[in-house]
A and B are shown apart, each in its own frame.
Chain A
Amino acid sequence: MDDRGNVVGAGADVIVIGAGVVGGAIAYYLSKMGKSVIILEQDEVASGASGGNNGQISIIDREPGIELEWANESMKMYRGYEDAGEFETDLDITGGLALFYNQEEIEIGREVVKKYSDLGYKCSILVGDEIKKQEPNINTDVVMGAAYCGEEGRLNPFSITIGLVDMAVSRGARLYQNTKVIDFVLEGNLIKEVVTDKGSFLGDTVVVATGAWTRELMSKLGLDYRIFYGRGTLMVTNPIEPCIKGPIVPGCFAIGTLYEGDWNLLGLTQHKNGTITIGQDTRAVTNYNKGVSYDGTIGLAKAFAKHFPNLKDLDVVRVWSAVTPHVEDSLPIYGYSGKYPNIFMAAGLKGALTIAPAAGLMAARIIMGETDDNLVADYSPTRFE
């Protein structure tokens, strides 16, 4: 450190930018495999989407292939962290519902459910009062049907994100919070220095796990990755005894009729501690605006009261928002850059809480040279270079 408290020339084998669940998982496995790691976070651990989400494990919105394999593998890995006494995950596979409000959605839902049933998932379409088998408190007057998936559930995003970073640190990773990457210094086409507002860092490999901020950061290198972001507003009630069994999402999540733009649709989770997070109002914003949508919040509270009249008098105690990215072609940007060969990208992984452990392990293996990236060739950042 120099006399102004700035870091000068700290170095490591790998510099991970972003301490969300994705950066945390990659740092965790790299540290475990013996690499020296520096984690740079502009704010605090879990200050991005990883600390502002609904904590749901989602399956039937994922394409069969590597993403689903990551999801399956990650559930075992979450159990592994608990068994090893590393950190709590609150993982609970409760089964989840995607709610349908008209016949057309149910019909598309049937095809989706068939696709996942054929793959061996415990999926079915529930109509009318059948929905009460999963959620006895739901008002079936306002919902026409639902897609059930037995492999879905919930977890504690804070505990997991902080746990992964803590475990990386306990294996020697160095964490710099409130340290924002603002530029890169090149040597040929390799990144030589990662420049932050607190000084420069040196690393052989640079992992970019910056979520919604990725496009802006990579523009410093003249790249235009097609990754954009929206702001999701959620609220949380005070805790109550278990009333809602599993995660609930709008049906369009499962049948793929929702892509971009602004939307306000009910999705919720009751957590292990009894609180219920209720979302989600999503708006296009600029400048990572962290305000909350007032109208949207009122709309969701009303929708919640309609769906769960028994719980309509619960108090909402907090409302917040988080920015989360989406990639133009809906695929992650994951793998080595072609233009800057020592940059490994890991951004835009959809619903990353469900897949981060396995995606992080694979990233670490690729960086260690233990495996190639053939399985994830479709995710390669080179498609935007």
Chain B
Amino acid sequence: MRILNHPILGELKDMETVTIYCDGMEILAIRGEPIAAALLAAGIRTFRKTVKTGEPRGVYCGIGQCNDCIMEVNGVPNVRTCVTLVEEGMIIKTQEGLGKSGGLHD
């Protein structure tokens, strides 16, 4: 799902793409878009699984407030994918339960 022709913003053209990987799957994303937008465009709805019951969660507020869309990005847990922009070669993983602290430091 991606709006290619917006009634006010007009047509989406001159887009530069970057390649990201989500759970091993290669995804073509548009430079400048948040990770969440790229995943939704690729049909991915589940970004993480909850701690207690393992239920699926994805985008909820979409503006960085609710922390529902957090994923592991390049080894760093708890990354809010709705406010983090895609970068070439990003490795993104579904976050299962609590984030692992190992990836927090450099």
Which A residues contact B (CB, under 8 angstroms)?
Answer: 137, 238-241, 243, 273-274, 309-315, 317
Q: Check A239–B99 contact: CB distance below 8 A.
A: yes
* Residues in B51-106 with C-beta less than 8 Å from chain A: 51, 67, 70, 76-78, 80, 98-101, 104-105
Q: Check B105–A313 contact: CB distance below 8 A.
A: yes
18 pairs, CB–CB < 8 Å, chain A vs chain B: A137-B101, A238-B67, A239-B98, A239-B99, A240-B78, A240-B98, A240-B101, A240-B104, A241-B99, A241-B100, A243-B101, A274-B99, A309-B105, A311-B104, A312-B104, A312-B105, A313-B104, A313-B105
Query: With A273-B51, A315-B78, A317-B67 in contact, is A240–B99 under 8 Å at CB?
Result: yes
B33-58 vs A, CB cutoff 8 Å, 1 = contact: the mask equals: 00000000000000000010000000
Which B residues contact A (CB, under 8 angstroms)?
Answer: 51, 67, 70, 76-78, 80, 98-101, 104-105
**Which residues from B are CB-within-8-Å of A274?**
51, 98-99
Q: Separation in Å of the A113 CB from the closest CB of chain B?
A: 30
**Which residues from A are CB-within-8-Å of B104?**
240, 310-314
**Which residues from A are CB-within-8-Å of B77?**
240
Which partner residue on chain B sits nearest A274 by CB separation? B98
**Which residues from B are CB-within-8-Å of A315?**
67, 78, 80
Given contacts A238-B99, A310-B101, 17 further A-B contacts (CB under 8 A): A238-B67, A238-B70, A239-B78, A239-B99, A240-B101, A240-B104, A241-B99, A241-B100, A241-B101, A274-B98, A310-B105, A311-B105, A312-B104, A312-B105, A313-B76, A314-B78, A315-B67
Cα A313 to Cα B80 with chains together (Å) = 12
Cα A310 to Cα B106 with chains together (Å) = 8
Cα A172 to Cα B99 with chains together (Å) = 43
Q: Separation in Å of the A94 CB from the closest CB of chain B?
A: 17
**Which residues from B are CB-within-8-Å of A239?**
51, 78, 98-99
**Which residues from B are CB-within-8-Å of A243?**
101
Cα A317 to Cα B51 with chains together (Å) = 18
What 8 A-B pairs have minimum CB-CB distances, sorted nearest first? A241-B98, A313-B104, A274-B98, A243-B101, A310-B105, A238-B78, A240-B99, A238-B67
Cα A312 to Cα B106 with chains together (Å) = 10
